[in-house]
Every structure is written in structure tokens, then in C-alpha cells.
A and B are shown apart, each in its own frame.
Chain A
Amino acid sequence: MLLALIIAFPLAGWLILGVVGGRLPRRVIGIFASGTVALAFVASVAASRHPAVSAGGLTAPLFSWISVGTLTVTAGLLMDRLSSLMALVVTGVGFLIHVYSMGYMADDRSSARYFAYLNLFIASMLLLVLGSNLLVLFVGWELVGLCSYLLIGFWFDRERAAQAGRKAFIVNRIGDAGFLLGILLLATSTGTLEFGRIGALASQMVPGLLTAITLLLFVGATGKSAQLPLYVWLPDAMEGPTPVSALIHAATMVTAGVYMIARLYPLFITAPLTLPVVAGVGAATAFFAATIALVQWDLKRVLAYSTISQLGYMFVAMGVVAMPAGMFHLTTHAFFKALRFLAAGSVMHAMGGVIDMRQLGGLAGAMRWTALGFVIGALALAGIPPFAGFFSKDLILEAAFTSAQHGGSWLVWVAGLATAFVTAVYVTRAAILTFLPPAGHHGHPHEAPPTMRWPMAVLAVLSVGGGALGAQAVGAPLLHSLDRFFAIAPAAESAPAVFLTMISVAIGALGIVTGAFLYRGRREVTLGAVGRFFEQQWYVDRVYEAVILAPARALAHFCADVIETRGIDGAVNGVAALVVRAGGTLRQAQTGYVRSYAAAILAGTIVVLGYWLLR
């Protein structure tokens, strides 16, 4: 009941705002929408304190959905340690971003539509994380994709925004096709999709089949969580309003792939081949996206590539069987990346929509709070202690190291370290270009209104203090809770771990110093040929163009010019021409003289009579 209520609040908000939102005053819309999410947060807190949550899961079956042959699917909700964490992050960060949006979208004429979509997103995301089986998760998965599409293209009168929305939707379809195949394969081979029962079945399944299923599910994750090779939609998704980027394309929806793997970890750790693939894709994406972030001029695109990169870290964590570390990084990342996006949104708000960092600069004086929030987010992202990102990223790197010691690939760990260095450089670059003098503009920026400042302040506190959730010094409450959920022995603090931590901190610091040196005085360093290589996204777009788009276009032209015009049109035109010509010939018979008709009747009669006579 409580679980259904968590989803019901934002869902009701969507319905009400969708129906009567246009007639409400703007302030009321914002307060109402934020209120529903606040209620959902309170309900999540209340539900997560239920003793059953830590015992094995609080379940709430809703109704019997599908019952075909041996397959029975019940629509139901489940809250255990994993989903309670996700529900709290979604509703908590979601609430802050709703409040922020009240300030950010104050001047937009369709704020009712905006908040209705946002509420629908929260409801869908909660359905995704609270679903008790894979099919309910999939429904939520598709609904958040829909909300993402609607909100990326929120300003649909802008061509670029509309196109970006379509791109996100279509690229996600590719991933979802794999995901759906994985679900169907799982359903046909095990006969159940319930999370509670999949775990026990994993060990009895054929390894090859299990690998196929998990790889297909992972394809879905690469789409939703913007990993190689399906990452292309996320940078374009920045055309949406900035709070949307913060909520959907940084903090919550894009982490759905990570959550899905964590949710199905019994399958993934049993499948022999899948985990190295996950770790490899994650590590490659992390480094790849970080290098691209290094040469972007659009502040939001820097953050977008940074998000892709950090999601790569989370997949590395999943791949090296450090699910608690991955979920921990997901949580801290939600805090500090949302903070960075909100700060970027505040900059956009102050500068009238300018987001090119070459036209920013010198904002630190006028926008002290925003700058502070941005820098805190940057330090957390760079992994500098004691900020939250340090703890979670360090845990992942440690796990990657341990995995390499036990037969995993060293490349994953090395890529992780290299990414940490590049990350530190690009966050420094973004901070310098945006906030330090000399100014690249002649505007008069102003600090954000309180509704925008306070959410940033709360997220800043969480970005600083969030590490305590997983810091060994204070007992790591979150990690212990997750360790028990995943039934994985907690990593013991050993001598190499301390050494590794020192390495990663040193690399982070080195990256910041490098960045500070390279971009001192807001120099627009382009990094030469290497920079161009990064700027062209390692020519991934070109490869896609040559391998996928060009043949597809050729096929389309073949269909349009040959099959369509000659084949189908030719057949239709041919039939028409035949009729016209036949008609032209036959009309000669219509003389209009009564006697010729009479003669025809006579001739016909004679023929019929002749037939009967001579038969």
C-alpha cells in the first residue's frame, strides 16, 4: 500500500497538472508539483524504514497481469535495500530539482506542461526501480524513455531540440530491442521474470544461454545509460531545459542501466562472458567520453560527456563484481552531477541562455554561490577527498585493481586511472573558463533566485558529506547495507588499498594542477591534432556514417528510386494505362445508334441459339 502510494503521488500530480494545469497560476503549479514529489519522498522514507525492507524485501502485489501457459507475471512492487536507495535518490534529488525548476522555468509560458512531464517522469522512474519483476521494470524503462523524449524536445519549436528528442528516442529503441529480446529469452527459458526467483534459477541455466540473455540485457543498458556504442543521444539531449538534464540525463534515468544490472546481479555474476564485456565497455566509455569532454566548448556538453564517463565507471564497478561500489558511485554522482548541472543552469539563467564557455568567464564575482556549488561539484567529480566522489570512485578503482589481480584485465584499472586524470583536467578547465576572469562577455550576470540557490546548497552539502555513506571511518552505512544485499564480502582495507587511494588522489591533484596550468588566464587551448581527434569524437560519428548511415541511405535511395518508382509505381501506372487503352479501344463500339445495339442483340441471340441448336 505504502509502495503504491509512493508512485501514486507524482502520478496524480501528472494527471491533475495535465488536465487543469493550464488554468492554475504559475506559482501554484510549481509548488503543487514539488509537493507531490516531496510526499513521494516522505513515503519512500517511511517505506524504507519498514523492517521487511532489510529482511528480504517489502512486496506489494497489485494484480495478476499475464498468465499464459507456464508463464505468470504479476504486476507488483518490491522495495528492498537496493530499490529503497534508488527510490530515495530519485525522489530526493527529484524534489530538489522540482524546486529549482520553479525558479528556472518561472518565465516559461508552458510551465504546466513542464511540471506535468516532470511528475510523470518521477512516477515512471519509481515504477522502474520499484517494479517486482523485469516486465514492470521494462514498463517503467519505456515510460522514462518517453518522458526523456518529451522533455528533451520540450521547446519543440526549436528545430535542434525536436531533432535531439527524436534522436534520443530512436537510439534508445535500438538498445530496447536488445533488452526486450533478453527479457523474452529469459521468460521462455526460465518461465519467470520475478526478481525474487531469478536468483535461484541462475545457477541451473545453460551458461551459453545465460550469456546471451545477459549480453542482450546489457545492450539495453548501453542504450539507456549512454555507453559505447549507443552513447550518441546523450550529448544532444542537452537541448532540453537544464533541470531536466540534471534530473533525467545525469542523476536518475541514465543510471537505470546500472540499476538493472545490479538488480539482476545473480544472472550477471553467473554468466561466464558477460562481466568482462561490461567492465570493458564501461572502461572504454569512461576514458573515451572524458577525452571528448576535454575539448567541448559548450558547458552543458562537457557535463554530458562527463556523465557518460562517470556512467562508464559504474559499469566498471558492475563488471568487476563491486555492485555496492557501483551503486554508491551512482548515489554520489547523482548528488554532485545534479549540482553541477544546476550550477550550469544558473549560469545560463544569468547569461540569458549563453552556454558557450568562450563567451563566459569572470562570473565568480557576481555569482558567488553558483561558483561555489560548481567548484564543490567539480572537486567531487575529480575525486578529491573529502568530497563524495572521492570515496565512491576510489572504491571502484580499488575493485578494478583487485579484479585485475585475480585474473581480470589490467587495462580496466589503467583506463580508470587515466580517466580520473582527464576528468580532473576537464573539470578544472570548465571551472576556469566559466568563472575566472577575464570575462568573455559584456553582460551583467546576477545571482540565481532563492528557489534555485537552495537546492544547489542542499546538493552541495550532500556532495561534500555524501561520502560518509561509504567512508570506512564512519562505518560506511550504505556500503554495509548493500554488501549484505549483494551477499558479497566487504572489501577489507589492506595495505595496497591505502597505496591505491594515494595513487588516485595524486592523479586527481595532478590533473587539477595540469588543468590550472594549461588553461591559466582562460586560454583557449585546443591541444592540436589530439584535440581535433577528441573533438571529432574519435571519428566515431564518421564510422557510423560510413558503416551504418551510408549503406542505410543507399538502401533507402534504392527503395525510393528503383523499387518505389519503377516497381510499385510502375505496377500501379501500368494497370491504369492498360485500363485507359482498353477503354479507348472499346469505346469505338459505343456508336450511339440504336440500330447497332439492336444488331448486337440480334447477333448475340443468334449465337446463343446457334449454340443450343448445334450442341
Chain B
Amino acid sequence: MIAPSLTERYVATMAIQTKEKLVAIVDDDELMRSALQGMLKSVGLPSQAFESAEEFLKSGQQQQTACLIADIRMPGMSGLELQAKLNAEHCRIPTIFITAHGDTKMRMQALRAGAVEFLAKPFDDEVLLESVRAALENWAQ
């Protein structure tokens, strides 16, 4: 697997910086999960996908998660509730929200609670990747 040179350099640095760190995807939509995983794979980022916020919390992967990409409206626990719960547990994972319902109020709430990005579907994947990279770099420091 040979990615473009720029990505390759980036992956190499990231690999050193993040070691076993993962990008976690939490979305109830299967197509969305596989699209996001495929996208991250194409830039050489390891990721793991979860069907629900509960599943992610149960997995015990929070500590290895360097960046979280989450949907907001999901059956069961919402993305914002997940963020609040992680904050309460002092587990501050840089979080990027992707939603189809996003309104300004929700966006403000998410950003105030520490989200690094709030994207509306359909989103620009370059913007998303930029945010993921920024999150990983911040985390590594």
C-alpha cells in the first residue's frame, strides 16, 4: 500500500506520535461508518467503528482514542450526550461531529463542550481530514 508522498510522510510522523492511537467512529448508519473507515484507511489512519455511543463506551477503547468522529442523532445515547459523559469522566477526546440535522444551537453546544469541528452532511472530506489531523497533532503534544 503506497499512499501519496505527502500523506506517507504524514502517516510516518503520526505513527510515531500516536503509536497505538485510534480514530473512533460512532455512527448508527452502516454506510456512513464504512465510508468514513474507508476514507481514513486511504490516508493511512487506523480506525475503529462503533454502532452506538453505548458500544463505544463499553469497548474500553476511550484511552486509545486520539480522535472521535461522531454522529449526533442516534437511537439511544446521542453524540452530545456521549461527549458530556466523556467530559464527566475527564476523558477529553478531540471530537468531530457530523450531522444531517445540525442547527446553530446544537453547533454552539457542541463547540462549547469542546468539540473541534461540527460538520453538516454531506461534508467535504478534506475539511474532515484536516480536522482529524489537527486533532491528532494536538493530542500528540
- A and B held together in a complex: no
A residues apposed to B, CB below 8 Å = none
B residues apposed to A, CB below 8 Å = none
